[in-house]
Amino acid sequence: KKTMQQDIDFSNNSWLDVANGALALISADLLQSLGGEGTIESKYIHVLMPKALEQVYSILPLDDISQWVQLTRSTGGANIGSSYSYAYDLPKRCATVREVKTEPGDSEFQVVKNAVLSDAEAVNIRYISLPSTPEDMPYYAKSLMITLLASMLAGPISHDATMVSTLKADYQSQLGNCLAFRKLTRHSDSYMDTGKEWN
């Protein structure tokens, strides 16, 4: 499973509002910038913010920001030990693969780390791209990330078990609302309807 640590540029203060939004929820000191501060708040933000982003982007469908792309066949061939003939490289900022279409259409495939393995002559995917800045995130995903990050920060910074519990419950409630809305608006071409097995 790939880490998103490298996908948040802490030298760019565009993520500062997210960090301070989470810190404000636990009544902690706010940051003036994300780069080079030696405060306890800054240290925990640098460690926990990528984890919060990863969790939100791995659990939400985010179909409203999905995009289609035809994958490029890897020059290195298929993975060692794979029974498939080809490996198709996933986009560098791919967070989640939502749907796979192969040519021919009945070709089997397997989604692995950084690639789709298949005997198909061509592979197209619908995927979610990692945000470069918070402006790339849907509002509901950013709000969910702030609440999740606050729940992660509350223990080590505020040392308040009740606050941790309350924020976790708030996060689960928000997440439940997002997923329930997704079920009401889900299109029939979702990967959940394809009958394919995912790994």
Q: What are the pLDDT digits (tens) for 4-13?
A: 445 688 888 8
Say what the pTM is: 0.77
Q: What are the pLDDT digits (tens) for 64-93?
A: 899 999 999 998 777 667 889 999 999 988
Average of per-residue pLDDT across 132-141: 92
Distances from the Cα of 91 to the Cαs of 109, 118, 130, in angstroms?
A: 17, 17, 10
pLDDT tier for residue 36 given thresholds of 50, 70 and 90 = low
pLDDT: is 36 or 63 the higher one?
63
- Beta strand pairing status for 67-70 and 86-89? unpaired
pLDDT: is 62 or 144 the higher one?
144
pLDDT higher than threshold 50 for residue 138 = yes
Q: What pLDDT is attached to residue 26? A: 97
